[in-house]
Amino acid sequence: MRLPEIKGFLESSFIDWPGRLTASIWLAGCNLRCPFCHNRDLVLSPETLPNWPLKEVLRRLRKNRLFVESVCISGGEPTIHPGLADLLEIFKNEGLAVKLDTNGTQPQVLRELILKGLVDFVAMDVKAPLESRLYRRITGKNIDISKIKESISIILETGVEHLFRMTVVPGFHSPEVVFAWVQDLQGAQRLTLQNFSPHRCLDKTLESLRPFDEKEFSALCALVEENHLITSESERARSSTIATSFT
């Protein structure tokens, strides 16, 4: 099986896996076209980006093994690559925990990875409330919303450690939209909002759009916190809503 090309590698990060120092890897390509995505080259023209040889990535991971014990696989969208499971198995054989970032459009792949024990943590980008019209506007594609729902169910039912997150964009994500999103994800361990960053967007016209200011963004995060119900009081004590701004 041909392994996915690695287009980006960061030896250590404190932000990609809550509570862990982790290495981060970016794979090329995506099956969505979210206008506010800031990985324009990775999505639209990955062939223009250099590849990281897997041998070099492994060399650096082994060098840092004493303090970096996990790797985050991101994109783009990792699950569109047929060789993803083989790549994750290589990292698991190195003794590394694996976090997967995904948009949830490939539930059959997600299920296989979790059941094979190749994923320890899943961060799923749920772009909007689970309604086809909204999803089409925000992702730029006609998404089969049943696949998004299936991926959410797989994550919740398997009990894999997880969080669901959404990037909020003025003009796209009102308080009403955020509230509906929270209701669709009741029972999740963690919900996260990220503030829109107007840099290198797929839709260049959005680069002049002002993100939510601190007060506005904090109000949206509070809306999530106040309305999010998780599975048990012990989970509530362990989990918290994480708000991240990339402005």
pTM above 0.85, yes or no: yes
145 vs 28: CA distance, rounded Å? 23
- Expressed as residue numbers, the domain containing 17 is 6-245
Please determine, for residue 239, whether its predicted confidence score (pLDDT) is greater than 50.
no
18-36, pLDDT tens digit by residue? 889 999 999 999 999 999 9
Whether residue 151 has pLDDT greater than 90:
yes
Distances from the Cα of 112 to the Cα of 84, 89, 103, 109, 138, angstroms: 11, 12, 16, 5, 27
Mean pLDDT of the region 158-186:
96
Strands 22-27, 6-13: pairing kind: antiparallel
| Residue 70, in any domain of the structure | yes
- Say whether pLDDT at 55 is over 60: yes
Q: Total structural domains in the chain?
A: 1
Contact indicator for 121, 100 with CB cutoff of 8 Å: yes
Residues 202-209 have a mean pLDDT of 93
pLDDT at 244: 46
CATH number where 147 lies = 3.20.20.70
> Does residue 1 fall inside a structural domain?
no
Please say if the pLDDT value at position 230 is more than 90: no
